[in-house]
Structures are given as C-alpha cells and as structure tokens.
Structure 1
Amino acid sequence: MFITPAFAQAAGAAQPGGFSAIIMQMAPLLLIFVGFYFLILRPQQQRAKAHREKLLAVKKGDQVVTGGGLLGKVTRVEEDAVEVELAPNVRVKALKSTLSDVSGVGTSKPAND
C-alpha cells in the first residue's frame, strides 16, 4: 500500500470546498445586494412615502403643481381629487395622485414681485 489511511483522511479534510467555500463565494453577492438596498431602494421608498404624506395632507389654499406642470391654488379638497384654481375664475379638477408638488399657504413668492 502506498497511501496510509491517516494520509487519505487528511487529504479529504484539506480539500477546498464545503460550507466555508460557499459562504466565501456568496459574500460578494450579498454585499452587493445590501449596498443596492441602502443606496437605491431605501431612499426611493422614503421619497415616495414623503410624497404620499404630502398628498394626503393637501388642504384648501395650498399651492400645487400638477403632473402636467400647471401651477394653481387648491380651492376644494375631495377624497381622491382636488379643485385647482389656475387663474381667476378658471378652476379644474385634478386627481390627488397627479399632483407632483404641494407647498403650504404663503410659502411661494408672487411672480410679479
């Protein structure tokens, strides 16, 4: 016999592989996914939550920007829609979900000043 039993057992233990090798191969992928979550997904979720809260808090007198870029003042608030005054005696109904920005009363400066 050329190989003793002790040497054969030691050769099997020193062979690369096993659970630790799988962990070492998966660690970079796991780190990439964790980084992706904290750098891209989480900030986007926070912005969406802040925008949703802003839309739920819209009230009469707020200045709004619609999705089409129209600027106006909220004159009436309903459950899913708002009435926006774009010019004197020009009122349109817009869905709350189409509003892109809401600013409080008096926060914007008039254009002619």
Structure 2
Amino acid sequence: MFISNAYAQSNPLESLGGAGGFLGQYGFLILMFVAMYFLMIRPQQKRAKEQKAMMEALAKGDEVVTAGGVLGKISKIADAYITLEISTGTELVVQKSAITMVLPKGTLKTL
C-alpha cells in the first residue's frame, strides 16, 4: 500500500531489432574483416602485381639476383627458365620465378 511498484527500464536498443541490432552484433566482425583487407590482403596483392610486372619486363643483359642469392646477367630467356651468366663462361639455368630483384646496370662490374 505504501510502496509503489518498481518497473525495470527497457533497453532502447531492443527497439532496433533485438539485443544490439545488426550492427551491434556483427559490427566488430565486419570491422575486423575490413581491417584485415587493408592491412594484409591489399599489400600482398600489390606486391604480387609488382613481381609480375618485373617478370614481364626482364630482358637479355639485365643483372638480377635469384632467391638463393646468386647474382648474374641474363643471357637467355625462355618461357619458364632463364639462363644466367654468373661469371665469364659459366652459365646457370634457373626458373623465372626464382628472380627476386633486378639490379641497376653496372652493379656486377663493381663487385
């Protein structure tokens, strides 16, 4: 008689479609995928594109470094293989994908 009834306050987000709504439930997950795209996937795609462009631009006479660290000058180019001249009269056949970097002209003469 002297005490009035106490009612619990309703959650204002429940009116938006459940506890927290769509963005409340899945917003963090979506934000995580967007961050992973910009921090991991996009830079990797950019590096792959640059590597492909470098492979297509290889020409006879370019000085290159292989994945194993071998320095040489390109003497022949085939579809999948490249012949490197690593010293006078010594040639080495490597896969095209093993080329990691093209050196500036004249680098091998200074070594």
Structure 1 gap segments, 5+ residues each: 1-10
How many residue pairs align between the two structures? 100
The question of whether the paired residues in 2 share the 8 Å contact of 1:64 and 1:99 is answered with: yes
1:79 maps to 2:105: no
Q: What are the within-5 Å matches in structure 2 for residues 58-69 of structure 1?
A: 58-69=58-69
Runs of 4+ in 1 over 4 A off after TM superposition: none
The question of whether the paired residues in 2 share the 8 Å contact of 1:77 and 1:83 is answered with: yes
CA RMSD, aligned part only?
A: 2.3
Compared CA separation, residues 18 and 61, structure 1 to 2 (3 A): same
**In the alignment, what sits opposite 2:107?**
108
Distance in 2 of aligned mates of 1:75 and 1:18: 68
- How does the TM-score come out when normalised to structure 1? 0.76
**In the alignment, what sits opposite 2:70?**
70
Give the drift of 1:66.
Answer: 0.9
The question of whether the paired residues in 2 share the 8 Å contact of 1:55 and 1:102 is answered with: no
Distance in 1 of aligned mates of 2:13 and 2:57: 63
The question of whether the paired residues in 2 share the 8 Å contact of 1:65 and 1:99 is answered with: yes
Q: What are the within-5 Å matches in structure 2 for residues 8-47 of structure 1?
A: 16=14, 18=17, 21-47=21-47
Structure 2 gap segments, 5+ residues each: 1-9
Give the drift of 1:79.
Answer: 1.1
